[in-house]
Structure 1
Amino acid sequence: MSTPILLVSPFMDPQSVGEPRWCYDLAQAIAKRTDTIILSQTPRNRDYCIADLFPDSMVYEHRPWQLDRVPPRIHALFKPNYLRFYLQARHILQHRLNLSTISCAHHFGPLALRFPSPLRGLGIPYAIGPLGGSLPTPSAFASERARQPWYYRFRDFDGMRFRHDPMLRSTYEDAACVVGVAPYVRDLLSSMELKRFETRPEIAARTPGPNVDDAIRHRRERSGPVRFLVVARLIFSKGIEFALRAAATLPPDLDWHLDILGDGPLRPTIEHMRDELRLAQRVTVHGHVPRQTVDDFYRDADIFLFPSIREPSGAVVFEAMSWGLPIIAADYGGPAHHVRDSYGIRAPVNDKAAFIASIAEAMEMLVRAPDRRTDMGKAAMRAARDNESLDAMADYFINLYASLALSRSASV
Structure 2
Amino acid sequence: MQQTDESRLKVLVIAPSLDGNDLSEPEWAYRWVEALSRRADVTVLASSRIGAEPLEKQLPLARVVTWPEIRWLYQKFERFNAMAKPGLPLFVAQCRKWIREALARGETFDVGHQILPQGMRHVSAFASFDIPYVIGPLGGGLKTPPAFEAEVNANRGLAARLRDFDDFRLRHDQALRRTYQKASMVLGVAPYVEERLTGLDLQRFHALPERGYGDFAPERERQNAVGQLTLFHAGRVIRTKALRDTIRALSHLRDLPGIRLISAGDGEDLPLCKIEAKALGVADRIKFLGRIPRGAVEQHYEAADVFCFPSFREPMGGVFFEAMAHGLPIVAAANGGPDFLINNSCGIKVPVTNPDDFARGIADAIRTLAMDPSLRARLGAGARARLKSFGSWDDKADLMLTFYQQIMAQTDAMPTGATKQERAAQ
Give the counterpart of 1:287 among 278, 287, 290: 290
Identify the range of structure 1 (318-327 vs 251-260) with the bigger mean alpha-carbon deviation.
251-260
Structure 1: distance between partners of 2:260 and 2:170: 44
Kindly state the Cα deviation for residue 326 of structure 1 after the two structures are TM-superposed: 0.8
Query: Where do residues 304-319 of structure 1 align in structure 2 (5 Å cutoff)?
Result: 304-319=307-322
Displacement of 1:99: 7.8
**What letter matches 1:140 in structure 2?**
A
Q: What is aligned with 1:249?
A: 252
Task: Say if 1:146 and 1:290 are closer, same or farther in 2 by CA, change over 3 A.
Answer: same
1:254-403 residue pairs with structure 2 within 5 A? 254-403=257-406
Query: Where in structure 2 are the equivalents of 1:105-254 lying within 5 Å?
Result: 105-152=112-159, 153-209=161-217, 211=218, 213=219, 215=220, 218-220=221-223, 225-254=228-257
Q: What is the DSSP-based 3-state SS (H/G/I as helix, E as strand, rest coil) of the residue aligned with 1:194?
A: coil
- Shift of the alpha carbon at 1:223? 9.2
TM-score by length of 1: 0.94
Corresponding residue of 1:41: 47
Following TM superposition, by how much is the alpha carbon of 1:310 offset from its aligned partner in structure 2, in angstroms?
Answer: 0.8
Give secondary structure in 1 for the equivalent of 2:76: coil
Amino acid at match of 1:162: L
TM-score, normalising length from structure 2? 0.91
The alignment covers a number of residue pairs equal to 406
Once superposed, what is the RMSD of the aligned Cα atoms?
A: 1.9
Change (3 A) 1:247 1:336: same
CA deviation after TM superposition for structure 1 residue 254, in Å: 4.9
Q: Give 1:405 deviation, angstroms.
A: 2.1
Kindly indicate whether the alpha-carbon contact (under 8 Å) linking 1:7 and 1:37 is maintained by their aligned counterparts in 2. Answer: yes
Residue 89 in structure 1 maps to residue 95 in structure 2: yes
> Match for residue 85 of structure 2?
79
Deviations 1:62-112 (A, max 9, x none): 112112553221011011221221010010111224687221111111111
Which SS does the other structure have where 1:96 is aligned?
helix
Return the alpha-carbon distance in structure 2 between the equivalents of residues 365 and 351 of structure 1: 21
In the alignment, is the contact (CA less than 8 A) between 1:208 and 1:385 conserved in 2? no
Q: Specify the alignment match of 1:65 in structure 2.
A: 70
Question: Which region of structure 1 is more displaced relative to structure 2, 28-37 or 322-331?
Answer: 28-37
Mean Cα deviation higher: 170-179 or 9-18: 9-18
**1:311 Cα deviation after fit:** 0.7
1: CA distance, partners of 2:386 / 2:119:
26
Counterpart Cα distance in 2 of 1:191 and 1:160: 13
The percent identity for this pair of structures is 33
The gaps in structure 1 that reach 5 residues or longer are none
**Aligned CA distance change for structure 1 residues 195 and 390 (closer, same or farther; 3 Å):** same
Post-superposition CA distance 1:316-365 (Å, at most 9, x none): 11111111111111111111111111111111112322211111100000
Read off the aligned partner of 2:368 and give its amino acid letter.
M
Tell me the distance in 2 between the aligned counterparts of 1:90 and 1:365: 55
Unaligned residue ranges in structure 2 (runs of 5+): 1-6, 416-426
